[in-house]
Structure 1
Amino acid sequence: MGKYSQDAKELLRLVGGKSNIAAVTHCVTRMRFVLNDPGKADVKNIESMKTVKGTFTQAGQFQVIIGNAVSEFYKDFTEEAGIEGVSKDSVKQAAKKNQNLLQRGVAVVAEIFAPLIPAIIVGGLILGFRNCIDSMYIFENGTKTLCDISQFWKGIDSFLWLIGEAVFHMLPVGICWSVTKKMGTTQMLGIVLGLTLVSGQLLNAYSVASTAAADIPFWDFGFFKVDMIGYQAQVLPAILAALTLVYLERFFRKITPQVVSMIVVPFFSLVLSVIAAHFILGPIGWKIGSAISSVVYAGITGSFKVVFGAVFGFVYAPLVITGLHHMTNAIDLQLIADYKGTMLWPMIALSNIAQGSAVLAMCFLQRKKADAQEVNVPACVSCYLGVTEPAIFGVNLKYAFPFVCGMIGSSVAAVISVATKTAANAIGVGGIPGILSIKPASMLSFAAGMAAAVVIPFILTLIVGKKKGIGAEQEEETKTEVETDLKAYVSGKVIPLKDVKDGVFSEGVMGEGLAVLPDEGTVYAPASGTISVVMEESKHACGISLENGMELLLHIGIDTVAMGGAGFEYRITQGQKVKAGDPLIKFDREKIKKAGYSDAVICVMPEQGNTENLKIYTGMQAKAGETVVVSFDHKGGTDND
């Protein structure tokens, strides 16, 4: 049995069983399901599982956030379910049946840009660093930059542009490659097509606006002419050209005999797609992209820019839930190409920060609840670094009000951003590091927006959270549940663990502990905590997680798992909160003995959590709920000290 077998079995039940799973895979932190009937998933109980950090549905997939242990959990899940996992691409294909036309379109755009994001982030960081050394006039009374006074830094600035130019000016190459990769056609042809869009023979796209019409170079075919214009940093022309290449290659591969396929298919596919790109699709794509960016730019800079900023800042986080936020990548890049900067990206970075600040408030409200902090802290950090999903799905949506408070803070921050014309040179760097992508002249105004994105959601979440009793609830739990001892969990004689006739327990393989030779047939909770493990079939054991991080395993008898649950009755369920003295399991001592097994009730501590000076008491006759069998101190002290 694997480490997560029991949880995997429970998750299988809660998603509707094997018959409800059309496909399943996993990524770095999540289980990704395509469910035949999404309505059968018991979301509430799934999210109450200790191993689950949150759930959400996106792009037709039901995703369960597990965390870093997802690969091990996935292995146990597929074994318990008796199904084979599939690739991520297969899951995406299966998920399409749960998507509408808009969702499919957004998914395509997202999948095109996903492989490019790491390079775009690197490019953004490089341009941000170059901003700091070649555009910030902070030397010699504000008249010179670092590059002006240092040849070394001037050389660094020039060298780094090699990378920046490759990322942003040559973006169509990456887009054409990504489209052919996604569509399963020849990627090298995509790269060549992209290179024809940014060739040095063409007039650079950035120079078109400043070049007189009569000076624009052209191809002269005698009876018609075509302008020789490049598409550096252009998004839509590259996507349209690449899709044309894909469908041409599929068409020629289908009609061409195999014997000449290697010659005919690539030749006609590439030549025709390059012709289409420069004669038709490029100019059309440029105009459509420019029209979209013009509308967005007008909204950001026009008479109603404050309203635009307020609305965009408020709705961006909900867009993340739907996946529609991926569309902004293309718009941002088009704005940069057309206007030498984007005012959209700063608002996106501020939205990241606002959601992170709401989580920061939850960290404060739940500061004494260790299991909540396991989710809160990493979610807050990742959100401040620009990755919002753990914060949104793992914390803010779970409680709802932090999500709304983050939206309000984001809205105010976005108003500050557009009102001060805050613009970025690049995209990809979100959250607090996003300031590196901001134009030097806008850094102070972006900092003002950051302050609003930090303070407003934090204070609002704190106020609402306290009104909802979250802070008081946690303090009360700390006072009532933080204990410094374990009481006898069954009446009887307490014996050392080494006296138990079992190699695993008696040798301490599972951890330190003790055993009780019972006088009665009920096991009680030795301390307050959460039921973390149940054995649905055998019912002979359970696990309890305490607030201090200690893990307890209570096990009735030796080898009693073989009884298949006969003589055992649970009084608890997975995820249930229990207090010291609550009944956990009833067991029939006579049935156990007749089956030839010992009825010794064992308690081991696989994890000792935030404790020190642990002492175990044995050799006495104990009374359940009264006799102390284990005592310990809390590291760093407690409110009960």
Structure 2
Amino acid sequence: MATNNQIAAEVLEAVGGEENIQSIAHCATRLRIMVHDQEKVDIDTIEGIEKVKGAFFNSGQFQVIFGTGTVNRIYEEINKLGVEGSTKAEVKEEGAQQGNKFQRAVRTFGDVFVPIIPALVATGLFMGLRGLVLQEQVLALFGLAPEDISDNFILFTQVLTDTAFIFLPALVAWSTFRVFGGSAIIGLVLGLMLVTPALPNAWEVAAGNAEALEFLGFIPVLGYQGSVLPAFIAGMVGAKLEKMIRKRVPESLDLIVTPFLTLLIMITLALFVIGPIFHIVEEGILSGTKAILGLPFGISGLIIGFVHQIIVITGVHHIFNLFEIQLLESQNANPFNPIISASIAAQGGAALAVGLKSSSKNMKALALPSSLSAFLGITEPAIFGVNLRYFRPFIMGLIGGAAGGFLASLFQLEATGMAITVIPGILLFLNEQLLLYLLVNIVSIAVAFGLTWTFGYTDKMLEDK
């Protein structure tokens, strides 16, 4: 068995040596390498290196999949061999102009929303735990009834479950400023201004318990609690405005003038122009998303469950973060999550079938850990390392995802959060939906496994490859 140091040396050689590496970083599962000359990269050799689960070019980056944990160790060995690493932000910046305009726009969405997701994951888990603890059956185990729960305890749970969504515009504006090169603290303050208690609360206005202010007789002004697009657009414009002002202000006045003008101009634009316009756009997107998810007879789950992993391999799936955040904010539930969980589980089921059916030790060593990774919610090793490489297992996984998505939609499953799926996703269904959620994922895995075992893979395909 090769050591991590040997594997790192083999990877370096196969990408054309240190002199062909422009920059290198890693994420949770992959090495991300910017190279000077793509022709010097020997992908076939890299895919044959021990522990490598797949390799491909995407948006200007050469990405080598090792899987969670392993990638950190390989990266450390590469550093020890004299190759200095870059930050992920630097690698992204170097590849920022790669791909078409839509891909670049979606990549920007991902850069903005991915840092926010951990807070929303935690919030979703808090929602799930509160739902579990407050169930009558669970309370009965301790000799309690719902009326025995104190108001102070309910208030404490609301602090855990509501805070992130109340201040969501602040999180979005902070992250957007950061991505577009502005001062993150100015973005944070701008976002907080959008939810200041001095403005009518958006949720109170929606419930009819408060009225929006009117300026010039037709411009509605209110807080933007839970909104995403107004904060995103305000953050994007604000970051560009800040950089423009900073270029024109003398250095001695920069500390005072730049933040003053940026916040003054941006809160005016955000409340009177950007907010009203993009709140309508946001409502339209949300209505469209709900309409698709509301298609009858499980059709929405059938479609989404089939196409989701196809979208994942294009790299533009981060746009779904916006949809899920909007769903959670508007209805405290996420019907999208159980459908994509089914599609993810199915790819794991297909990879598991390949691993168990193959007589190749190398294939088993690749496919079985990849299937486990998929069951933990990360499909890249299974897709790029196994299923898509032989194509038919990937198609069987898509069919399994469609079957599970169909059931998730038919059962009207709704997660309490986002960003975790399959086994970890259980924590988002700690209520009366739990058994149905497990059934959906089991069906997805079983269909994909059965089809792959029967029609999707033989060792002859491995020999042909």
TM over 0.5, yes or no?
yes
Whole-angstrom distance in 2 between the partners of 1:393 and 1:133: 40
- Within-5 A mapping of 1:245-394: 245-302=238-295, 306-366=298-358, 371-394=362-385
Cα separation, partners in 2 of 1:193 and 1:424, compared to 1, 3 Å: same
CA contact (8 A) 2:404 2:441 kept: yes
Amino acid corresponding to residue 11 of structure 1 in structure 2: V
Whole-angstrom distance in 2 between the partners of 1:383 and 1:156: 37
* SS, match of residue 96 in structure 1: coil
What do the CA deviations read for 1:230-269 (whole angstroms, capped 9, x no partner)?
Answer: 2222111110111122112111101111121111100110
Whole-angstrom distance in 2 between the partners of 1:340 and 1:228: 24
Cα separation, partners in 2 of 1:140 and 1:292, compared to 1, 3 Å: closer
- Within-5 A mapping of 1:573-588: none
- The alpha carbon displacement at 1:431 in A equals 1.6
Give the paired residue count.
Answer: 461
Question: 2:197 maps to which residue?
Answer: 200
CA contact (8 A) 1:216 1:227 kept: no
Whole-angstrom distance in 2 between the partners of 1:146 and 1:436: 23
CA contact (8 A) 2:202 2:222 kept: yes
CA contact (8 A) 2:190 2:267 kept: yes
Question: 1:60 maps to which residue?
Answer: 60
Which structure 2 segments of 5+ residues have no match? Answer: none
| Matching of residue 218 in structure 1 with residue 208 in structure 2 | no
Q: 1:421 aligns with which of 403, 412, 415?
A: 412
Question: 1:456 maps to which residue?
Answer: 447
Cα separation, partners in 2 of 1:150 and 1:331, compared to 1, 3 Å: same
Question: 2:47 maps to which residue?
Answer: 47
Name the larger-Rg structure. Answer: 1
RMSD of equivalent CA atoms:
3.2
Whole-angstrom distance in 1 between the partners of 2:154 and 2:80: 54
- The alpha carbon displacement at 1:149 in A equals 5.9
Whole-angstrom distance in 2 between the partners of 1:210 and 1:174: 24
Cα separation, partners in 2 of 1:255 and 1:363, compared to 1, 3 Å: same
CA contact (8 A) 2:376 2:422 kept: yes
- Within-5 A mapping of 1:1-80: 7-18=7-18, 20-38=20-38, 40-67=40-67, 68-71=69-72, 73-74=74-75, 76-77=77-78
CA contact (8 A) 1:216 1:228 kept: no
- The alpha carbon displacement at 1:439 in A equals 8.5
- The alpha carbon displacement at 1:470 in A equals 7.4
| Matching of residue 433 in structure 1 with residue 424 in structure 2 | yes
Q: 1:398 aligns with which of 364, 379, 389?
A: 389
- The alpha carbon displacement at 1:210 in A equals 2.2
| Matching of residue 468 in structure 1 with residue 458 in structure 2 | yes
* SS, match of residue 99 in structure 1: coil
Question: 1:622 maps to which residue?
Answer: none
Q: TM-score, normalised by structure 1?
A: 0.65
Question: 1:412 maps to which residue?
Answer: 403
Whole-angstrom distance in 2 between the partners of 1:198 and 1:171: 9
Whole-angstrom distance in 1 between the partners of 2:217 and 2:267: 17
* SS, match of residue 235 in structure 2: helix
Cα separation, partners in 2 of 1:418 and 1:29, compared to 1, 3 Å: closer
Amino acid corresponding to residue 208 of structure 2 in structure 1: T
* SS, match of residue 216 in structure 1: coil
Whole-angstrom distance in 2 between the partners of 1:458 and 1:145: 44
Whole-angstrom distance in 1 between the partners of 2:189 and 2:440: 42
- The alpha carbon displacement at 1:76 in A equals 5.0
What do the CA deviations read for 1:17-54 (whole angstroms, capped 9, x no partner)?
Answer: 45643332334543211234435432222111114232
Whole-angstrom distance in 2 between the partners of 1:118 and 1:260: 37
Whole-angstrom distance in 2 between the partners of 1:147 and 1:197: 40
Amino acid corresponding to residue 177 of structure 1 in structure 2: W
Amino acid corresponding to residue 320 of structure 1 in structure 2: V
Whole-angstrom distance in 2 between the partners of 1:56 and 1:319: 16
Whole-angstrom distance in 2 between the partners of 1:91 and 1:382: 25
Cα separation, partners in 2 of 1:6 and 1:387, compared to 1, 3 Å: closer
Cα separation, partners in 2 of 1:69 and 1:310, compared to 1, 3 Å: closer
What do the CA deviations read for 1:327-355 (whole angstroms, capped 9, x no partner)?
Answer: 00101111233344332222112222222
The structure that is strand-richer by fraction is: 1
- The alpha carbon displacement at 1:119 in A equals 1.2
Whole-angstrom distance in 2 between the partners of 1:337 and 1:26: 32
Whole-angstrom distance in 1 between the partners of 2:377 and 2:177: 28
Whole-angstrom distance in 2 between the partners of 1:412 and 1:377: 23
* SS, match of residue 208 in structure 1: helix
Amino acid corresponding to residue 170 of structure 1 in structure 2: F
Whole-angstrom distance in 1 between the partners of 2:112 and 2:57: 20
Q: TM-score, normalised by structure 2?
A: 0.88
- Using the aligned pairs only, state the percent identity: 33
CA contact (8 A) 1:356 1:383 kept: yes
CA contact (8 A) 1:171 1:233 kept: yes
Q: 1:209 aligns with which of 202, 206, 209?
A: 206
* SS, match of residue 95 in structure 2: helix
- The alpha carbon displacement at 1:456 in A equals 0.9
- The alpha carbon displacement at 1:115 in A equals 1.1
- The alpha carbon displacement at 1:9 in A equals 4.5
Question: 2:120 maps to which residue?
Answer: 120
* SS, match of residue 22 in structure 1: strand
- The alpha carbon displacement at 1:113 in A equals 1.2
- The alpha carbon displacement at 1:10 in A equals 3.7
- The alpha carbon displacement at 1:405 in A equals 1.7
Whole-angstrom distance in 1 between the partners of 2:72 and 2:340: 31
CA contact (8 A) 1:245 1:269 kept: yes
Cα separation, partners in 2 of 1:428 and 1:203, compared to 1, 3 Å: farther
What do the CA deviations read for 1:521-546 (whole angstroms, capped 9, x no partner)?
Answer: xxxxxxxxxxxxxxxxxxxxxxxxxx
Whole-angstrom distance in 1 between the partners of 2:6 and 2:371: 30
Cα separation, partners in 2 of 1:264 and 1:298, compared to 1, 3 Å: same
* SS, match of residue 452 in structure 1: helix
Which structure 1 segments of 5+ residues have no match? Answer: 475-641
Cα separation, partners in 2 of 1:354 and 1:256, compared to 1, 3 Å: same
Question: 2:173 maps to which residue?
Answer: 176
* SS, match of residue 288 in structure 2: helix
Whole-angstrom distance in 2 between the partners of 1:202 and 1:365: 62
Amino acid corresponding to residue 244 of structure 1 in structure 2: V
